[in-house]
Amino acid sequence: MMDSTISRRHVLAGLGAASLTGLTGASALAQAAEIPIGMVLPFSGATGPYGPDMKKAADLVVKIINDAGGILGGRKLHLYVEDSETNPTVGVTATRKLLDVNKVELVGGFWGSPIALAAKPLILAANKVEMVSASANGITDGDTKGLIYRFQAKSSQWGPAGAKVMTSLKLKKVTILAQQNPFVISMIEPFKAEMAKLGGQVIDVVQYNPDQASYRAEVEKAFGPEPDGVFCLSLLTDFVAISKEVYRGGFKSKILGLGTGADADGAYLRSVTPEVAEGIHHLQPAPPMDSAAYKKFVKLMGAPEGTAFLFAGNTHDQVCVTALAMEHAKTQEAAVWVKSIREVCNPPGEEVDDILKALEMVRAGKKINFVGAGATVDFDERGDQLNRSFLHQVIEKGKNKIVEVVT
């Protein structure tokens, strides 16, 4: 089934109808056969551009699995999707609905560390699984009961990647301009350490709050001393304002931004003039774009070869891994099947990137090493994803141009 968000009113109406009719026979069996899973995704707010493709990817793989007969002897997955609105409070409300009304075994999606962190206590208290496409180190810190898996690079991995890009651009004396949020703050010290190791120097760290009316003072403090480069740790809305301020001020320091600000699936380029964006470099975790698994995914999404889906592959992989782990554990009970994730994802085992073939192999008792579209989906004991790469791009004449892949 591919329908996603349903309202509480519809749920209660359905329950009322069931009590009146006695809901028997094939209809009752069909509902009992469904396995509910949920995702909290952004469709509005600062990260709204990412939600539609992430939902589409999850819907497509759910349909593939269900059309082939489902899992656990013919049970179909039912995916419920809620809008986080890029707001932790709204994200918590959405998570609560998925857990309490839809009775999901998985709450996935979670583009955005503040939202993933806010929802974490609810999901752990319910003994369900949380899968995130978010980077803050704190998501997998502490006692997670083994129920949290990250389908993204950790924030602390972004910092060294940024330092390698700065070094490749021959920028030695740099400043950090950073938004105050858990995703960003975890990058700062690893970036400084890697810059020092590579012979560079961080001369200042300038921090600001999200949603400020103006960033002029922070921009002047960061760019005024004329460092070789400024590492702008910003999201879309604030980076649009910051880059306009840099352009108006005539500052010449090279900018390295995060893809979450300077790309945002093209939203940044739609928000500024080419003159403002010209020459800005940015990086973000990327799928293995040359892999067979990713190329199949691009075709599945109906996109031209070489299209960079930076986050949609993560939700595709979350559904795949959930289905495989449930099949391996022979149950939909979250606290049980979560223990099978590394069994079906990590080596040793036969590499397989086709979800239907992978399910057949699991049913046959074969050891597999599933390879995802967004990454290899190998995990450490904390649930953090291993072997992530980063895509370094530069904006030229209003378009993104790939520079290199950084590991």
What is the arrangement of strands in the sheet containing 173-179, beginning at the earlier edge strand?
A: 201-208, 173-179, 229-233, 254-258, 281-286, 389-396, 399-406
pLDDT at residue 149 tops 50: yes
CB atoms inside a 10 Å sphere around CB 388: 24
CA 297 from centroid of its chain's CA atoms: 16
Residues β-bridged to residue 75: 71
Q: Compare 308 and 38 and report the one with higher pLDDT.
A: 38
Report pTM: 0.80
Give 213: exposed, middle or buried? Use CB within 10 Å, 0-12, 13-18, 19+: exposed
| Helices 312-329 + 292-300 axis angle, to 10 | 110
User: 324-360: per-residue pLDDT in tens?
Assistant: 999 999 999 999 999 999 999 999 999 999 999 999 9
Where does the pLDDT of residue 264 fall: very low under 50, low under 70, confident under 90, or very high at 90 and above? Answer: low
pLDDT average, residue stretch 359-371:
98
Percent of the chain beyond pLDDT 90? 77
Give me the pLDDT at residue 21, please.
38
Q: Compare 286 and 362 and report the one with higher pLDDT.
A: 362
Q: Which residues does 29 contact at the CB level (< 8 Å), separation at least 6?
A: none
User: 61-118: per-residue pLDDT in tens?
Assistant: 999 999 999 999 999 999 999 999 999 999 999 999 999 999 999 999 999 889 999 9
Distance CA 152, CA 139 (A): 11
**Mean pLDDT estimate for the chain:** 91
Peptide bond into 49 cis (omega under 30): no
Residues of the chain with CATH 3.40.50.2300: 8-153+293-303+310-370, 155-288+388-406
User: 291-304: per-residue pLDDT in tens?
Assistant: 999 999 999 999 99
Task: Report how far apart, in Å, the C-alpha atoms of 57 and of each of 109, 203, 311, 316, 374 are.
Answer: 11, 42, 10, 5, 11
Distance CA 309, CA 125 (A): 33
Give me the pLDDT at residue 190, please.
95
Q: In the CATH hierarchy, which top-level class contains the domain 155-288+388-406?
A: alpha beta
Q: Which residues does 351 contact at the CB level (< 8 Å), separation at least 6?
A: 368, 369, 371
CB atoms inside a 10 Å sphere around CB 99: 19
Distance CA 132, CA 112 (A): 8
What is the arrangement of strands in the sheet containing 129-132, beginning at the earlier edge strand?
A: 77-83, 35-41, 106-109, 129-132, 148-150
Percent of the chain beyond pLDDT 70? 92
Q: Under a CB-based contact definition with an 8 Å cutoff, are residues 272 and 244 in contact?
A: yes
Which residue type, as a one-letter code, is found at position 11? V
Give me the pLDDT at residue 7, please.
39
Q: Hey, which CATH number is domain 8-153+293-303+310-370, 3.10.180.10, 1.10.580.10, 3.40.50.2300, 3.40.47.10?
A: 3.40.50.2300
